[in-house]
Amino acid sequence: MKNYYQKEIETAPYEEIVKIQNEKLKKQVRRVYDNVAYYRDLMDKKGVKPEDIQTIDDIKKLPFLTKDDLREAYPYGLLGTDLKNCVRIQSTSGTTGKRVVAFYTQHDIDLWEECCARAIVAAGGTNEDVVQVCYGYGLFTGGPGLNGGSHKVGCLTLPMSSGNTERQIQFMMDLNATILCCTPSYAAYIGESLAERGYKPEDNKLKAGIFGAEPWTEEMRRSIEKSLGIKAYDIYGLTETSGPGVAFECEEQNGMHINEDHFYAEIIDPNTGEVLPEGSRGELVFTSLDKEGFPLLRYRTKDICVLTRKKCSCGRTHIKMSKPMGRSDDMMIIRGVNVFPSQIETVLLKEGYSPNYQIVVDRARNNDTFDVYIELNPDQVSDVVSDIQARERSLEAAMRSMLGIGPKIHLVPPKSITRSEGKAVRVIDKRNLHD
Ligand code: DLL
């Protein structure tokens, strides 16, 4: 039996979805033009009037918004309704640059929580489940979003927030948590901590995990699934559009369905802004079709991914996005070579190392230095220096073959890299190439 939270819309035929998008977009553009002077100016400059937008295809005529616009309009310049209609703010976790403040009406919160509820049900959640939410609560959207979604499904919700791993484990075991929600790096850490305390994967009652907010690889998924004895589902979102639940994985574990009755997705060439056909790799752009408080049109996420509308065995019809393959702005260029942290992680896991690593990039005498610190697994520790050196050489060769550039590898003792309770700090770039 397949489960959906809102079956009718989640499995609606494509034509039905387009009809909804056409109607919502027309209304939304009118609302934004009338209420948001900042965007009205951008439309006027481009010579576009609300009447020019009749169908979803007309979206191409609208101007883009970027994080720079959000900074410029901070804090109220992109508000889509009277402040008195708003009930909450959330703010970015500061992945890049200055904070962004997003406003929500009660309607916005309801639709956001419904999106998270869809994700929980897609991961097998019902009102019999115990959902342990260890995303951060507060300004970060992870905790509040999944918390609200869990309530909507009727699950018993453990609002743990991040950190205090000892307490996480105690509640998980004593209250029989069945679904874990946190960042993949924290899930890996919890798995590690359980093993250290002598628990086997079958000792916990977890069946699924809903992990997102940072890039993670297939290899990392398998390793988390093994250590916790669960099925691990990806979830995507960003503060600017609401938070987690913009897109979520189903049982196929092969791309995330975008809730496209609320968020219209486009892929563009990040250099030219040209809209690319389905299946192309490019920058993801989102339009909120019915948000009231912070109704962003054509917001450039900087996330690089691919969209596909191939039929999905889960029965959901909404378009799928691939895992973000990096960001058009976090890609490092080291000695002229493009490097994504996820490539390094892929090599580490393939070669049997832990996903606990840190990349340090610096510049000495106009030359980039590129160091990767990697924790040894306990069974890899050795007193024989030449053994460790041989491992470092072999890892360097594997990295060179993946990246086209060889970092200096430093194998460090287990547990020596600071653990994250939220988003892992993977890259320390000391070159100050930006801002
Ligand atoms: O990270 C919202 C979220 C919370 C998503 C909990 C999933 C779970 P921000 O802090 O605004 O919002 O960061 C958004 O994080 O543009 C991506 O670059 C990255 N990101 C989010 N989810 C994923 C994911 C939350 N599943 C930025 N895989 C986005 C890779 C992700 N990157």
Greatest mean pLDDT range, 217-221, 301-305, 314-318: 314-318
Give the position, in ligand 1's atom list, of the atom nearest the Cα of 234: 26
pLDDT in tens, 376-387: 999 999 999 999
DSSP letter at 329 equals T
Using the mean position of ligand 1's atoms as its centre, give its distance from the Cα of residue 47 in Å: 34
pLDDT in tens, 231-282: 999 999 999 999 999 999 999 999 999 999 999 999 999 999 999 999 999 9
Give the position, in ligand 1's atom list, of the atom nearest the Cα of 330: 18
Domains, the chain:
7-328 (3.40.50.12780), 333-429 (3.30.300.30)
Tell me if 358 sits within 8 A of 417, measured CB to CB: yes
Amino acid at 48: V
138: enclosing H helix or E strand: none
**86-91 vs 357-364, strand pairing mode:** unpaired
pTM for the whole structure: 0.83
192: enclosing H helix or E strand: helix 184-196
* Dist. CA 348–CA 420, nearest whole Å: 18
* Dist. CA 265–CA 308, nearest whole Å: 11
* Dist. CA 162–CA 342, nearest whole Å: 23
Using the mean position of ligand 1's atoms as its centre, give its distance from the Cα of residue 327 in Å: 11
Amino acid at 193: S
* Complete DSSP assignment for 25-89: HHHHHHHHHHH-HHHHHHHHHHT--GGG--SGGGGGGSPPB-HHHHHHHTTTTT--S-GGGEEEE
Grade residue 93 by pLDDT with cuts at 50, 70 and 90: very low
- Summary mean pLDDT of the chain: 92
DSSP letter at 306 equals E
Closest residue CA from atom 1 of ligand 1: 213
Nearest to 325 by CA among 270, 387, 396, 388: 270
Grade residue 330 by pLDDT with cuts at 50, 70 and 90: low
Our mutation pick for probing the ligand 1 site, out of 90, 214, 258, 420, counting the most ligand atoms within 8 A of Cβ, is: 214
**Pocket around ligand 1 at a 6 A CB cut-off:** 92-93, 95, 135, 141-142, 212-215, 234-239, 243-244, 301, 303, 323-324, 327
Report the first-to-last Cα separation within the chain, whole angstroms. Answer: 52
